[in-house]
Amino acid sequence: MLNTYCSSEENCERMHEPLEKNKKEVDKVSKYGILTQKRGTMIKKGDPENARLLNRSLILRELKKHGEVSRAELARSLDLSKMTISAIVTDLISEGFICESGEGNAMKQGGRKPRLLTLSGDHMYVLGVDVGLTNTTVAVANLKGQLLLKQKIPTRRNHSLKSIVEQIIELIDTLIKEFAVSKSEVLGVGLSIGGLLDKNQGYISFSPDFNWKDVYLGTMLEDTLGLPVVIDNCSRVMALGEKWYGNAVAAGNFFYVNVGYGIGSAIVIENKIYEKNSEFGHVYITKRDVVCDCGKTGCLESVSSGQAIEKAANRRLNNDDSDWLTARDVAAMALQGNEVAKQIFEDAGKYLGRALAIAANLFNPDKIIIGGGLSNAGDLLLVPLKQEFQIHCMDIIKDSTQIELSGLGIDGGVVGAVSLALDQYVFHSERL
């Protein structure tokens, strides 16, 4: 699908033309070899096919960023010839990735109005799957990242690999039928799940939520679905969604904290997801003898997670052995004025703010984004968090670091999973 026919040697050379006219060049090594970086982009010297694929990705990313762009604007912003832009755009239109969306404004000196280009809103789709301990969500989205149909159901209590894989496949098949789309129109599936895993291999070394070890989940799903599947850790996936469609669009460096039943995290440096494991929930934060699920004591997760809030509430508030109080129940009680419930959230927020001050002092992010289910508690968590952060963070760093709740709310996981699929099968940021 990516191969392009060139009618002459001259056209081929122009089509594969590398980015020109940039002042600064830095040689780097990647999986493609020695690359030249220009304006944050990279091409392999002497390799026209890689140059063509890179320019293709750059055009798609410009359309993602700006929504509608003319061919002339693409040529100017990417420093590519009009012939190069025209050849690649023609391919992208014929393949269904982009389409013409109307006319732009004419130039001041007159002339025809330019035809505007945009990402396709139909005929090509990706699927996003967010597998959580409590719920599993599946959505179909177009190339603009818009969720077109979504289904959310409780995750099976039988957490065996066979059971969960069956549920994922059933959900995907149901969604495809309801949306009335053929699998040939689905470019791929992005899947978000908790655990230690290797995205490139689709391999989960350990998932504490489901107690899985040494599982090649990506391959298992691909073999059954007949679709490409990419998987990644839920917190990294949510950070990617936040970077593309949430409150971190303009943040080059940010720290994402996924506060749900447990606490996960992800690091973004110079607009790139740091793909090593980030276990913020297991930093030592208190001398209290509170045992964490990891087996150690004093972990942040043991005092600030949804699970920690539930345990504290049921110990301090549930004296009649009635139904188990959830974190949502505790938040509702706090908003209704229950002082013990408010104190439980205040304690959780303070520990989280203290730990975030350590993280900020360490790597000075532009933003800290708080996502996950517990972020829905809003100021109950955020106010004590910020107060403690102000106390423990260095002035020069706290003054330059914004702390915000996720802009994606309860859809953070599935929007991230859609972003993961789009990145893998459409925008190809690994080329940049």
Q: If phi over 0 gives left and psi between -120 and 50 gives alpha, with beta otherwise, what is residue 266?
A: beta
Would the pLDDT of 2 be above 50? no
The answer to whether the CB of 191 falls within 8 A of the CB of 230 is: yes
In this predicted structure, the answer to whether residue 12 has a pLDDT above a threshold of 70 is no
pLDDT digits (tens, 9 = 90+) for 301-337: 999 999 999 999 999 987 666 788 999 999 999 999 9
pLDDT at position 15: 37
Per the CB < 8 A criterion, the answer to whether 171 and 159 are in contact is no
Q: Which amino acid type is present at position 197?
A: L
Compute the distance between CA of residue 287 and CA of residue 311 in angstroms, rounded to an integer: 18
According to the model, what pLDDT value does residue 3 have?
35
For helices 339-363 and 327-335, the axis angle rounded to 10 degrees is: 110
The arithmetic mean of pLDDT across residues 12-37, rounded, is 34
pLDDT at 34 over 80: no
What are residue 198's DSSP bridge partners?
203
Share of the chain above pLDDT 70, in %: 86
Q: How far apart are CA 232 and CA 416, in angstroms?
A: 10
Assess whether pLDDT exceeds 80 at residue 89.
yes
pLDDT range class, residue 31, cuts 50, 70, 90? very low
Residue pair 308/301 in contact (Cβ under 8 Å)? The answer is yes
How many CB atoms neighbour CB 301 within 10 A?
Answer: 26
CA atoms within 13 A on the CB side of 184: 3
CB 192 within 8 A of CB 238: yes
Q: Are 268 and 363 in contact (CB under 8 A)?
A: no
| Mean pLDDT, residues 124-135 | 95
What was the pLDDT predicted at 108? 58
Give the model's confidence band at 395: pLDDT under 50 very low, under 70 low, under 90 confident, else very high. very high
Average pLDDT score over the chain: 87
State the average pLDDT over residues 98-112.
72
Confidence of residue 111 (pLDDT cuts 50, 70, 90): low
| Listed residue (96, 124, 101, 127) closest to 114, CA to CA | 101
Give residue 337's pLDDT.
95
Question: What is the model's pLDDT at position 83?
Answer: 93
Name residue, tokens 């026209």.
Answer: 48
Residue 78, pLDDT above cutoff 70: yes
Q: Which domains does the chain have, with CATH numbers?
A: 9-119 (1.10.10.10), 125-240+413-431 (3.30.420.40), 248-407 (3.30.420.40)
Distance CA 192, CA 87 (A): 36
Confidence (pLDDT) at 112: 74
